[in-house]
Structure 1
Amino acid sequence: MAIARPACGPISTFSRVQILHLVQSRSERTIGELCDATGLHANTVREHLQRLIEGGYVIAASEHRTTRGRPRTLYSAATGAPDASSAVARDKVTAAARRGDIMRRILPVEASALGTDATYQLDALIEHLEESGFEPVIDDDQLTVDLTPCPHAAARPEDRPVLCRVHLSLMQGVLTEAGGPLVAESVLAPEVPQECTVQLRLMEVAA
């Protein structure tokens, strides 16, 4: 039986998952709001946010004030959209595509029917998942990503829904940042806790 590797990267602790969930559910969060919602000390929240910013998953911006006073720093999820894009995430996507091209030149791999843009999206997605402790297996025909065994299988059952939502949102952010027709649609219901499969979807491109 395969043994799941410990989770790492942006969701290595549930406190970090909570912070990601909060900024994904509503943008422009303050340190105070995140402290109140998680019960964590401000210094701990700042440390988690810094790691998330360095990973390309959160962006920080100064508050626009119309009155006197020092502007607060506001934190939002890096979704890959033009107004919520992280320079770190952009660099990761570019580097993943470059490495993918090198591997495709070296190895005799059959060209994907999904097209170049989707291929680059998958390059970025695979590197993100490996960085986060997963061992992804992509099915180009079924448009699924098999992440079994899930590193979070040992998490408390009540925490799993938040973990799944947070990571699905991270995956979608990577795909959006890479640019292309693929979107992360859902996490399929597992038959056993160790099982994890994500369903992708090809968006229709207007003529």
Structure 2
Amino acid sequence: MATVKPTYGPISSYSRVHILHLVQTQSPRTIAELCAATGLHANTVREHVQRLIDGGYIIQETERRTTRGRPRILYSAATGKPEASSPIAREKAAAAARRGEMLRRALPETAGSLNAEESRQLDALIEHYEESGFEPVINEEQLTVELTPCPHAAALPEHRPMLCQVHLGLMQGVLAQARGPLFARCVRTPSSPEECTVELERTAL
């Protein structure tokens, strides 16, 4: 049986994943709203949010007020779309594309059947998941991303649906940020906790 590696990086903490899920499902959010939803102290929430901003998963903006009073800081999920794009995520996607293209030029046999846009998207996706402790395996013919063994296999069963939904949302954001036709459609229902396979599809741009 394959060894399940621990997660690390900005989304290694369950609390950060929970916060990310909250902003993915409803944006924008304030620190006070995130505190109320998680039960965490404001300082703890701010620390988690900053890690997520630094990782390119969350963006912040200052509220535009039409009345008197101090504007609030609002937090939203970075989706890769123009209206919700993180500068950090943009640079990550661009850097991954540069490295992927250099590899394909140096080792032409590594070039697959995908076009340049699709390859650029998968370059970004692979680096994103390697950063998070996964070892992604891409099947270009079936358009799947195999993430088995899942580092979250030891998570409580009641937490798994949220974890899967967060990672699907992240994958959709990475693919959108890299610009191309590939879209993360769903996470297959696993037959064991260690299994994790994501199905991709091509969509019209």
- Compute the TM-score of the two structures, normalised by the length of structure 1: 0.97
Residue in 2 aligned with 1:168?
A: 168
Residue 39 of structure 1 is matched in structure 2 by 39
AA partner of residue 79 (structure 1): T
Shift of 1:110: 5.0
- For 2:110 and 2:100, how far apart are their aligned partners in 1? 13
Match of 2:106 in 1: 106
RMSD: 1.0
Shift of 1:67: 1.2
Shift, 1:162, TM fit: 0.2
Q: How many residues align?
A: 205
1:1-207 correspondence runs (5 A): 1-109=1-109, 111-204=111-204
Task: Give the CA deviation at 1:15.
Answer: 0.6
Q: 2-side partners of 1:27 and 1:42: how far apart?
A: 18
State whether residues 80 and 174 of structure 2, in contact with CA within 8 Å, keep that contact through their aligned partners in structure 1: yes
Q: Which amino acid aligns with 2:16?
A: R
Give the ranges of 4+ consecutive aligned residues of structure 1 lying more than 6 Å apart after TM superposition.
none
CA distance in 2: counterparts of 1:111 and 1:166, whole angstroms: 30
Q: Which runs of 5+ in 2 are unaligned?
A: none
**Structure 1, residues 102-148: CA drift from partner, whole Å, max 9, x if none?**
11122232533321000000000000000011000000000000000
Q: Which stretch shifts more, 8-17 or 114-123?
A: 8-17
The Cα shift of 1:82 comes to: 0.5
SS at structure 2 position matched to 1:159: helix
Q: Kindly state the Cα deviation for residue 22 of structure 1 after the two structures are TM-superposed.
A: 0.5
In 2, Cα distance between the equivalents of 1:107 and 1:4? 30
Q: CA deviation at 1:164?
A: 0.2
* 1:204, distance to aligned residue in structure 2 (A): 3.4
| TM-score (normalizing by structure 2) | 0.98
Amino acid at match of 2:193: P
